[in-house]
Amino acid sequence: MGLLLVTDNEKELQLGNGQVGLRNVGNTCFLNAIVQCLSHTRSLRDYCLMRTYLQDKHSNQEPVLMNEFSKVLAGLWECDGGETTVNPSKFYHVFKDSVPYFSGYSQQDAQEFLRFLLDRLHTEINRRPSKRPASFRAFKSLIVSCRISEEAFAMWQRHLDRDDSKIVDLFSGQLRSSLHCSVCSHYSNTFDVFCDLSLPIPKKSDYGRTVTLRECLDLFSQEEKLVQENSPMCERCNRRTESTKRLSIQRFPRILVIHLNRFAMSRYSISKSTVPVSFPLNGLDLGPFGPVDCGPVLYDLYAVCNHSGTVNMGHYTAACREEEGWCYYNDSCVGEITEEKLQSNQSYVLFYELKSCNIVRK
């Protein structure tokens, strides 16, 4: 059954069901899987199909990559039922021109591709003119006496002064890194913008034992002890001291992208973790990992990017939530998948949408 998209200017788009595959144009399964997940990010999809970015962006330059990305989404969603596969080759060509790191036809990492793609799309459709940010030291001196929430908000506004786009609206959140000096007990905070959370996977001694996404989040946010030589300068002691660091989420994004860090790099090789990670399909609560007493912050899953195989011989697929269930996207092949089969040792990137949040977003 098709969807009818009605916009503010009363222009209507008759959308298909989105169950259209993407052609593999040479080791591009990583691209196909991520694009399918992004095409099911409804706010981004509608924004692209209506070409609203042409009015939003500040630059007079043509948003070449955004145009091609939007054409791919149009092929997936505006089809009349006759097309079963879309060719993303032109979009990929433009992307490689923009990010030469992806030149050639070797297999690439899906999460790296997602980061680079969102960054380049943001740059093209940024609502702000390019300008150098104010001196951080001078800026920090203005907010040194603020409460944590006020300091975080000031840092967020500083970010928006130069980086403000639909990509930021949807995918950007804010991390708080809290540092505690073991010598003078001074607390200091830094705030960083993120577009995904890269979570470590706990190592289990029992072969085949499943870990939970909550365990990954606990490991990500647990207190870390820093020895003196690896510790930042204490603002009060004015020297490096033994300290502890803890990460928490200060500002929650509307679209939460979770990267399960399955690949570990050593001095001579890269290994892959095949530990199964179970994750909730509905009601993922990130409230315990946010500001104190922030209350429940609930997310629902809508897409999963999977990686099967080994480091050198791997393959990416996607599973996306549809109106009547879940669909499995394997390049040009599209089929149904049960909720039970979503849980596996192949899950790599999870896409969640904010359902409810008690924190007032400014």
Other beta carbons within 10 angstroms of residue 150's beta carbon come to 11
Asked if 353 and 40 count as a contact pair (C-beta separation under 8 A), the reply is no
Tokens of 83: 């097309």
Asked if 244 and 223 count as a contact pair (C-beta separation under 8 A), the reply is yes
Instruction: Name the DSSP class of 233.
Output: B
What H or E segment, with its residue span, contains residue 173?
strand 173-181
Other beta carbons within 10 angstroms of residue 273's beta carbon come to 18
Q: Are strands 263-265 and 211-212 parallel, antiparallel or unpaired?
A: unpaired
Active-site position among 29, 37, 234, 327: 29
Annotated catalytic residue 29? yes
Annotated catalytic residue 315? yes
Instruction: Name the DSSP class of 88.
Output: -
**CA 273 – CA 203 distance, rounded (Å):** 9
**CA 60 – CA 54 distance, rounded (Å):** 10
By CB atoms closer than 10 A (0-12, 13-18, 19+), residue 329 is: buried
Q: Buried (b) or exposed (e) across 281-314, using 16+ Cβ within 10 A?
A: eeebbbbebbbeebeebbbbbbbbbbbbeeeeeb
User: Which ranges of 51-207 would DSSP assign to H, the alpha helix?
Assistant: 53-56, 64-77, 89-98, 110-125, 136-143, 148-160, 166-171
Comparing C-alpha atoms, which of 201, 248, 204 is closest to residue 223? 248
Rg (CA), the chain: 22
Q: CB-side exposure of 103: number of CA atoms within 13 Å?
A: 5
**CA 203 – CA 210 distance, rounded (Å):** 10
Asked if 140 and 150 count as a contact pair (C-beta separation under 8 A), the reply is no
Active-site position among 58, 93, 315, 333: 315
Kindly list the catalytic residues. Answer: 29, 315
